[in-house]
Amino acid sequence: MTLATIEAEQGLRAALALDPAGVVATIRESGMKGRGGAGFPTGLKWQLAAEAVAPDGVRYVVCNADEGEPGTFKDRVLLAELPDLVFEGMTIGGYAIGSHEGICYLRGEYVYLLADLEACLERRRAAGLLGPDVAGSGFAFDITIHLGSGAYVCGEETALIESLEGRRGEPRNRPPFPVVSGFRGAPTVVNNVETFAWAAAILARGADWFAHIGTDRSTGPKLLSVSGDVQRPGVYEFPLGVSIAEVIEAAGGHDAKAAIVGGAAGTCVPARDFGRAISYEDVSTGGAVIVVGPWRDLLEVAENLQWFFANESCGQCTPCRVGNVKLLEGIRALRRGELTVQQLEDMVSLGQTMRIASKCGLGQAAPNVLLSIIENYRSEVLGHIPVGAR
């Protein structure tokens, strides 16, 4: 993994040798887009937070370590193996936007990492890499860890902020975006664990190094959590633009029928499209590639994922709260051979409505896998409908 080869604190030293605007410019020049899924340009996010009006001059840096997407586990590996690099990236982010306080929002199920992460922060304080005078620069920055409680929706940045403020984790209306008004109403940068790690690497190796990896619109390397029907599941690093076929081959997936790229909220890509690229301009993902073997019933996969969304919907808006339950009931009826073609079309229409009418990304993405299965495996799906009901 390239990140494991980055020399400790080289990025932080390089950042502190620049002024904050220079750090933002370096991240912008790298072309990096956020590694958490939405793909927002990181340098622009930092610039917007730095320029936003901050009451009392307070700004926050939040590391989104909630990692609840089924099939995604690369952030867990980073936090376990390279926590210094992640905290270094947060410190660089703090310097860039003028923040003195970082918060790492750690997924509740990752509580077993907490003691090691706290120890890492203590070591960094003792080494002068956190605290009132980071690396003798006069810049003050420290990081605390906040443990989540197991809600997938709390990975959505505004729900995460609500949770940080001690409320029920429900997404906020946007605008205002967190860069303008986030934690406690202050400008807040929320970035993924991997984004912070690459930010430290970019400062260490230079924007050009990063920008020359990947494609024009999807720069840099990307960590992918590869799981499912493969011989060697694990975290892999590829330049963005890599084909799905290459990823599956590296992990030892043979005769795969499909790949669910992007996790439960992603899309089901059929084998004939394995030449497509993993990138922001083609098939994008926060990091999950779930390989589906040739023997699997795709509707069983769809049922499993729809059940997940029906359970994880925060219930705030109707399209998601009701829609996920209706889609789950529909998949179950389909599998029992009790659905008509018209009812299947109604499910597609409901899924399309959820995409546009749900309040946050959870409900907007919840029908994705089902809709892509219905679109790409139509004859297999229709095979579950009794002949008289077609």
The footprint of ligand SF4 (CB under 6 A) covers 153, 171, 313-317, 320-321, 358-360, 362-363
Choices 142-150, 153-161, 199-207, 270-278; region in contact with ligand FMN by CB under 6 A: 153-161
CB 68 to ligand FMN: min, Å: 5
User: Which lies closer to ligand FMN via its Cβ, residue 190 or residue 339?
Assistant: 190
User: Which one of ligand SF4, ligand FMN, none is in contact with 218 (Cβ closer than 5 to 8 A by kind)?
Assistant: none
Q: Which x/- pattern over 61-100 shows residues binding ligand FMN (rule: CB under 6 A)?
A: ---x-xxxx-------------------------------
Binding at 66: pick from ligand FMN, ligand SF4, none (beta carbon under 5-8 Å per type) = ligand FMN
316 makes contact, choosing from ligand FMN, ligand SF4, none, with CB < 5 to 8 Å by partner type, with: ligand SF4
Binding at 67: pick from ligand SF4, ligand FMN, none (beta carbon under 5-8 Å per type): ligand FMN
User: What, of ligand SF4, ligand FMN, none, does residue 219 touch, CB below 5 to 8 Å by kind?
Assistant: none
C-alpha 146/C-alpha 102 separation (Å) is: 10
Binder of ligand FMN out of 12, 54, 354, 362 (CB under 6 A): 362
Taking Cα atoms as reference points, which of 132, 150, 151 lies closest to residue 142?
A: 132
321, interface contact from ligand FMN, ligand SF4, none, CB < 5-8 Å by kind = ligand SF4
- Side chain identity, residue 316: Q
Please report whether residue 361 would count as binding ligand FMN according to CB under 6 A: yes
If binding is defined by CB under 6 A, does position 178 make contact with ligand FMN?
no
Q: Is 170 in the site for ligand FMN (CB under 6 A)?
A: no
**Which of residues 64 and 99 has its CB atom nearest to ligand FMN in the complex?**
64
C-beta separation of 61 from 139 below 8 A: no
Q: Using the rule CB under 6 A, give the single segment among 78-86, 112-120, 184-192, 210-218 that binds ligand FMN.
A: 184-192
Query: Which of 155, 182, 220, 323: binder of ligand FMN (CB under 6 A)?
Result: 155
Residue 88 binding result from ligand SF4, ligand FMN, none, given CB thresholds of 5 to 8 Å by partner type: none
Q: How far is the CB of 354 from ligand SF4 (least distance, A)?
A: 8
